[in-house]
Amino acid sequence: MPLRAHLRELRRRLFLALIGIALGAVVGWFAYHPVFEALIRPLQRVAAARHQIVAINFSGLVASFDMQVQVALFLGVLVSSPWWIGQLWAFVTPGLTRRERRYAVLFLAVGVPLFLAGAALAWWALPNAVTFLTAFTPAGATNLIDAQTYMAFVMRLILAFGLAFLLPVVMVALNLAGVVRARTWVGAWRWAVVAIFVFAAVVTPTPDAFSMLGIALPMTGLYVAAVWICLVHDRREDRRRVAAGLPRLDGTMPDDGPGAPGTGAAAT
């Protein structure tokens, strides 16, 4: 498929994904009030425990309306995650073989729960983050948090967790599409582990190591699992290509080696 056709297909898939998010946002609009109450519950608990005023502040005339729109769009992304993740796969799968396309359904079934699991983990970490960040409020002071600022913080936290847990699925997709080989992921494991722990330290602004490890260890395990799947795929693909008399994925032929005719010392 030429580049222009790829771009047209990408534009179409993005448009369909946005349509799904918009429909999910309609559902989110009607679910706004119970979700908003759940979002501000950590602030209410902090206020009750410290006997301070810690609350959401709507600073403008249309601020409450903007807040409802943001929550609706946020819920739309979560509710429609099976749809827009499916559009991502639909864009990738045309470059796969028929056998590899069968794996797409399986990985789609895995990708959606992983995204939602990451979002759920962020929701678990949210009260700790709120407790820690509001602890810097001096005694006797009032902490009125701008509603849109608070909502942006929550959305970034939850979406960052969800997309981070979706990363292994993207790794396997790129491998199946022939874009990235497994040995690339293997060679980058040190940097990946460092990046995972830095990410966990940033998104969990709590002083205890337990919260950070509770996020970093599952992400590291998912990275290792994705690398293992990519290794199995590359080995199977190499065997298939060798049996068909084709070069391996790295371009070498089955008889390439130190003693092969026409190579290395045998050629001199």
Banded model confidence at residue 262, pLDDT cuts 50, 70, 90: very low
State pLDDT tens for residues 157-209: 888 888 888 888 888 877 876 778 888 888 888 998 998 888 887 776 566 67
Span 203-221, mean pLDDT?
75
Span 204-230, mean pLDDT?
79
State pLDDT tens for residues 226-242: 899 888 888 888 887 77
For residue 73, pLDDT beyond 70: yes
Question: Contact at 8 Å (CB) between 143 and 137?
Answer: yes
Percent of the chain whose pLDDT exceeds 70: 81
Span 15-22, mean pLDDT?
91
Banded model confidence at residue 104, pLDDT cuts 50, 70, 90: low
Which is higher by pLDDT, 175 or 95? Answer: 175
Instruction: Single out the residue of 192, 74, 52, 64 nearest to residue 123, CA to CA.
Output: 74
- Give 157-160 contacts, CB < 8 A, sequence gap 24+: 157/122, 157/125, 157/126, 157/129, 157/203, 158/74, 158/78, 158/119, 158/122, 158/123, 158/126, 159/77, 159/119, 160/122, 160/199, 160/203
Q: Which range scores top for mean pLDDT: 27-36, 97-106, 128-137?
A: 27-36
Residue 99 has a pLDDT of 62
Longest CA pairwise span in the chain (Å): 86
Banded model confidence at residue 265, pLDDT cuts 50, 70, 90: very low
For residue 96, pLDDT beyond 80: no
Strand partners, 142: 53
The total number of residues written for the chain in this structure: 268
Distance of alpha carbon 78 from alpha carbon 117, whole angstroms: 11
The lowest-confidence range among 44-53, 97-106, 132-141 is: 97-106
Question: Contact at 8 Å (CB) between 207 and 132?
Answer: yes
Residue 268 has a pLDDT of 34
Contacts with 46 (C-beta within 8 Å, 6 or more apart), sequence order: 52, 54, 130, 131, 134
State pLDDT tens for residues 25-60: 999 999 989 988 888 888 888 888 888 788 888 887
Banded model confidence at residue 260, pLDDT cuts 50, 70, 90: very low
Residue 22 has a pLDDT of 92
Which is higher by pLDDT, 87 or 22? Answer: 22
User: Which H, E and C letters describe the chain, residue by residue?
Assistant: CCHHHHHHHHHHHHHHHHHHHHHHHHHHHHCHHHHHHHHHHHHHHHHHHHCCEEEEECCCCCHHHHHHHHHHHHHHHHHCHHHHHHHHHHHHHHHCCHHHHHHHHHHHHHHHHHHHHHHHHHHHHHHHHHHHHHCCCCCCCEEEEEHHHHHHHHHHHHHHHHHHHHHHHHHHHHHHCCCCCHHHHHHCHHHHHHHHHHHHHHHCCCCCHHHHHHHHHHHHHHHHHHHHHHHHHHHHHHHHHHHCCCCCCCCCCCCCCCCCCCCHHHHC
Which is higher by pLDDT, 95 or 125? Answer: 125
Which is higher by pLDDT, 266 or 38? Answer: 38
Percent of the chain whose pLDDT exceeds 90: 6
